[in-house]
Amino acid sequence: MKTKNNKLSRRDFIKLTGVTGAAAAFLGSVPAAKEAIAKTMSAGEGNFFESKSENQLYTVCLQCNTGCGIKVKLLDGLAAKIDGNPYSPWTLWPHPAYETPLKDMTTIEGAICPKGQAGIQTAYDPYRIVSVLKRKPGTKRGENQWVTIPFEQAIEEVVEGGDLFGEGNVEGLRAVRALTDGELAAEMKAKVDAIWNEKDAEKKKELVKEFQTEFKDHLDTLIDPEHPDLGPKNNQFMFVWGRMKGGREDVIHRFMQEAYGSINMNGHTTVCQGSLYFTGKAMSAKWNAAKGSFDSGDKFYWQVDTANSEFVIYAGTNLFDANYGPPQRTPKATDAIINGHKFAVVDPRLSKLAAKAWKWVPVKPGGDAALALGMIRWILENEKHNAAYLAIANVAAQTAAGEPNYTNSCWLNKIKDGVPGKHLRASELGLLTKQTVQKDGKDVDVYVSADGVEYPGDTPVALVGGVPTPIDVLNPEAAPIVGDLYINQKVGDFDVKDGMQILLESAQEHTVAEWAEIAGVSEADILELAAEFTSHGRKAAVDIHRGPSQHTNGFYNNNAWYVLNLLIGNFDYAGGSIKASTYDRKGSKKGQPFPVTTMFGEHHFTSFGLDMLRTKTTYEKSTMFDGSYPTKRPWFPIATDIYQEDIPSIGDAYPYPVKILMTYMSGLPYTLPGGQKVVEILADTRKIPLYIASDIMIGETSMYADYIFPDQSYLERWEFHGSHPSVPWKVENVRNPVISIPGWQTTKVFGEEIAYSWEALLIAIAEKLELPGFGPNGLGEGVPYIRPEDFYLKQVADIAFGDKEDGSDSVPEADDEEVRIFLEARRHLPASVFDAEKWQASIGDESLWRKVVYVMNRGGRYQAFEKAYKGAQVANKYGRLINLYQEKTATSINTMTGKPFVGYTKYIPAGLSSIGEEIPHEGYDLHMITFKPMPVAKSRGISNYWALAVMPEGYLLINTQDAAKLGIKDGDMVRVSSSSNPKGEYDLQNGIKHPMVGKAKVSEGIRPGVVAFPFSFGHWSSGAQDVEIDGTMVKGDSRRAVPLMANGAMQLDPVLGNTGLSDLAGGSSVFYDSKVKIEKV
């Protein structure tokens, strides 16, 4: 059967002649690409493609971070249509059996959103760069004057440095890599660790002197010999990325930390919903029985099992527009409505989700914790919580009760001057004594009770029937401990409270009516929400995302909402709170064929030292600690990947200067609050002497680069997208090349032709510098890492093998027909991208190769629909301790105040400065927030004209009452300004001022006193601005510059000056605590 191709022609889809004249630079002027794309994109009535498996390839979308599985339909080797991958739980519910033959899926499509379908325009964007661009010597950064140079020349220049721009000598990557001996680096690291772990100040100084003596011949490799813990000069090369997923994330770790030897590689976590991740990390901190203390938790978060929940509170999240995402979650939420289930939405804006809700609660921005604490107070005082679950104190009791996890709610905490601190330990009461015993011929410290019971380390304590009792936390054979709750007394010499008492007292700091006033909601709303929430057993949940997170108090907002889930014990239950589960891609499980993260042909480098974001150790452990607070910039003992700190920290050279910056898929000035300050630093060659970017276009960040290396779009490259917490199945999504751009250039590395890409950039640098972990023996003796797939295919093999040592969890082998389809479907890919013999050789074993084919034919690996649940619980469990009280948080210091962070659920006002002070906003009375509309959602969506047809421009949403006061009517042009940006404009440092002006949209659908704008519009680059390439002016497209982008009006931290506000506990960049002025223009 033949299926008529959807007519893809849109007159404004691709103006190929709009970039004529810069043939070596932009995709729209490459003759081969222009001819092929024009043919495909103007497909007329007589143009057909056959619905055959050989004309379809499965991969993973990246139009947003949902990562839906997609089916790309091909016409003459080009993407002609994108639909959902029917194997994927994201796009079809229920999804069919994974074993369904590929040919049976040819005419079955999963659901995909409009921006997913418009991904073709991301791949074939005429403003994509296809050659390496170098800042024209004699011009300043940001002036958008470029020259094209050969890839090989660019590698030579960034590696060797020199007088590259007529501005004086610039150090290249070779010079900055001062320490090249991996074994020496490992020795230095061990000594630095000892310095950090020494608590005595004088002894710490002695260890520094010992370091200087031992390594006297190598002190010139260090940033500062007086502070050896800053690490080697290698750390002055910093890599910053925006959106990067598994696979590429593993490669950059290998390249930066294990090959080049720099500790500084940072992602963008905190610009999205960082405090949500790090609340999860704090609540999941792992008890280490041998040490008698906590190890770090996992960087993750929970979401609701939408399909099975009877009542959901969606707080600051809108799954009909965003939040992982419309195709995956909308059908389940819709079915819930049809089946009579309820949900409420807590959001200052009447979102599409709120419009369908049982109750819309327009909370005051930053008031989430107050609302949640009001609910908590009512729940506790009315005994609506699951006390039996909360009293379970260890694994043994969890198992006995048939629970999937347990909490530390009943563990006792020491109280000093009214402030909770560490958990009480059994040895402090004399319940256990430390003894040294012989085990396997070694002296081992253990703790022993009076009746001779041995514990591996000191333990926490609970009262059981009023009796202090040691808790053997992890031993399933130990005594089950079910503790008493609401403890507030003296035990031995210590004043103690358990976690539940601390929580109760925090909730009772205000009445429910007072909490309602703080939150800006009615008392009735809180009472109704609390009553409904506790009326469905474990089939109720709070689902949170950016809304609560991106405030200065985001960590505590998130914690308060999560504690509500904890009070009803819904974690790991169907209809409750669940986590993501993925197949292992790193070969870290026993039996897996390729442990890629440990495969090195020679001794790899051991990076060490203090990172630029000050997250790898604490201030108090470092040699920079002098007993004084505040520090020059905040340190982050709980969070990592503090995106908003990357460039400002470089600007302040704190804790040390950076000499080379490399960015990848990064929109720093555009996406960050106060992005105009980022621009100032990026444009300054004194602060960043060399800046290299990997990008698919000249973006808002890369326009300030010295070199831009072209990358491949998501339809041309590899990645492993993972999963999201709202997906109950165990999965792994495999992004892989399904198209190649006609005429796309290649370069030769290690004698092999590979396509221009981010991988080509790194591998070429590795070859030039002779870095370990790359080349003919990069993955082991005789195991090459030259082509991208040398690494990525091995990860697919690990996924195909599964997580069981005996291989019983592996996928079937592809039969001959599936192998034929696999090969024929890739017939259009050039040898630089797909070489069947080399691909199979990278796996070796024929059986394993066929399993790899099986997985790739389906775009990933997906657990069977019926295996998601076991009775009332989910099958893929979180399954361990959840910390109601966070000892690690409570013992971590806020370096801007010198005081410990609060380790429990507490209301802290939003919008405070980094030293915890209120910020004056005289004359700026409106509270500004943002949201993400479904058609575009991400900054990169501006090139997707099909989606823009649905929503061609942004706007400023303002309540009718506020508009009336200001004399503003719907459609009026208005300017946004603030005390941090009174002119209401971005200074791009190139003579251009980009105004924050856009149309007003007057509506009752937003809380009075609050204004909002949709993210993704108001570009000043990404094809929106004229650029000069090799002396030829290329005109920008005005459709990409349509307003509004107002992040530049967001509040700057008055103490730091060059960055927006931050949540110092959870790390989030703060988008929702700014006050602005709106003026008609």
pLDDT for the residue numbered 17: 37
CA distance between the termini of the chain: 58
Task: Give the pLDDT mean for 1009-1025.
Answer: 96
Which run of H or of E encompasses 542? strand 540-544
**Which band of pLDDT confidence, cut at 50, 70 and 90, is reported for residue 38?**
confident
pLDDT at 13 over 90: no
Residues pairing with 84 in the sheet: 70, 110
Within 10 Å of residue 353's Cβ, how many Cβ atoms? Answer: 22
Structure tokens at 652: 């302040």
- Rounded to whole angstroms, how far apart are CA atoms 972 and 968? 6
CA separation for the pair 829, 736 (Å, rounded):
12
Mean pLDDT score across all residues of the chain = 95
* pLDDT computed for residue 48 by the predictor: 57
pLDDT, tens digit, 9 for 90 and up, residues 329-345: 999 999 988 999 999 99
653 phi and psi angles, rounded to 5 deg? 50, 40
pLDDT reading at 735 higher than 80: yes
Confidence label for 41 from pLDDT (cuts 50, 70 and 90)? low
For 882, the token pair is 């959840």
Residue 23 has pLDDT above 60, yes or no: no
- Packed helices 248-255 and 758-769: angle between N→C axes, nearest 10 degrees: 20
Q: How confident is the model at residue 46 (pLDDT cuts 50, 70, 90)?
A: very low
CA distance 175 to 233: 9
Residue 182: per-residue pLDDT: 94
The pLDDT value recorded for residue 207 is: 98
- Give the confidence band of 47 by pLDDT, cuts at 50, 70, 90: low
What is the mean pLDDT of the segment spanning 35-64? Answer: 77
Q: What is the identity of the amino acid at 142?
A: G
Instruction: For residue 162, count other CB atoms closer than 10 A to its CB.
Output: 13
pLDDT band at 42 (very low <50, low <70, confident <90, very high): low
> Rounded mean pLDDT of 638-647?
97
pLDDT digits (tens, 9 = 90+) for 979-1010: 999 999 999 999 999 999 999 999 999 999 99
Mean predicted confidence (pLDDT) in 847-868: 99
Kindly compute the dihedral angle of the four CA atoms of residues 459, 463, 468, 470, in this order, to the nearest 10 degrees. -20
| pLDDT attached to residue 941 | 87
Question: What is the reported pLDDT for 258?
Answer: 97
- Average pLDDT of the segment spanning 606-635: 97
Question: Coil, strand or helix: which one is 287?
Answer: strand
Q: Is the pLDDT of residue 10 over 70?
A: no
For tokens 């229920």, the residue is 94
Q: Given this model, what pLDDT does residue 858 score?
A: 99
Instruction: Classify residue 441 as left (phi > 0), alpha (psi -120 to 50) or beta.
Output: left
Residue 254 burial class via C-beta count within 10 angstroms: exposed 0-12, middle 13-18, buried 19 and up: buried
pLDDT value at 30 more than 90: no
Answer whether residue 104 shows pLDDT above 80: yes
pLDDT higher than threshold 70 for residue 421: yes
Q: Are 580 and 727 in contact (CB under 8 A)?
A: yes
Question: Which residues 6+ apart lie within 8 Å of 1035 measured at CB?
Answer: 18, 19, 1026
**In this prediction, what percent of the chain has a pLDDT beyond 90?**
92
Q: Which residue, 640, 637, 636, 691, is CA-closest to 669?
A: 691
> What average pLDDT does the segment 684-693 reach?
99
Q: Is the pLDDT of residue 457 over 80?
A: yes
242 and 714 Cβ atoms separated by less than 8 Å: no
Looking at residue 937, its pLDDT comes to 78
Confidence at residue 438, expressed as pLDDT on a 0 to 100 scale: 85
Task: Quote the CA–CA distance of 821 and 850 in Å, as a whole number.
Answer: 12
* pLDDT tens digits, one per residue of 908-927: 999 999 999 999 999 999 99
Q: Report the pLDDT value the prediction gives residue 40, as an integer from 0 to 100.
A: 61
What 3-state class would DSSP assign to 129?
strand
φ, ψ of residue 282 in degrees (nearest 5)? -70, -45
Beta bridge partners of 573: 873
Task: Please tell me the distance from the alpha carbon of residue 174 to that of residue 161, in angstroms, as a whole number.
Answer: 8
Query: Which of 360-364, 443-447, 963-967 is predicted least confidently?
Result: 443-447
Q: Is the pLDDT of residue 44 over 70?
A: no
**Counting runs of H as helices and runs of E as strands, what totals does the chain give?**
31, 51
Q: pLDDT by residue (tens digit) across 800-843?
A: 999 999 999 999 999 999 999 999 999 999 999 999 999 999 99
CB-CB contact of 850 with 796 (8 Å): no
- Domains assigned to the chain: 1-124 (2.20.25.90), 304-380+506-579 (3.40.228.10), 387-504+884-889 (no CATH), 916-1080 (2.40.40.20)
Q: Are 644 and 1060 in contact (CB under 8 A)?
A: yes
pLDDT at res. 31: 81
Residues constituting the chain: 1081
Stretch 640-660: mean pLDDT, rounded?
98
Q: Residue 14's pLDDT is what?
A: 43
Q: Per residue in 162-206, pLDDT tens?
A: 999 999 999 999 999 999 999 999 999 999 999 999 999 999 999
What confidence category does residue 1 fall into, taking pLDDT thresholds of 50, 70 and 90?
Answer: very low
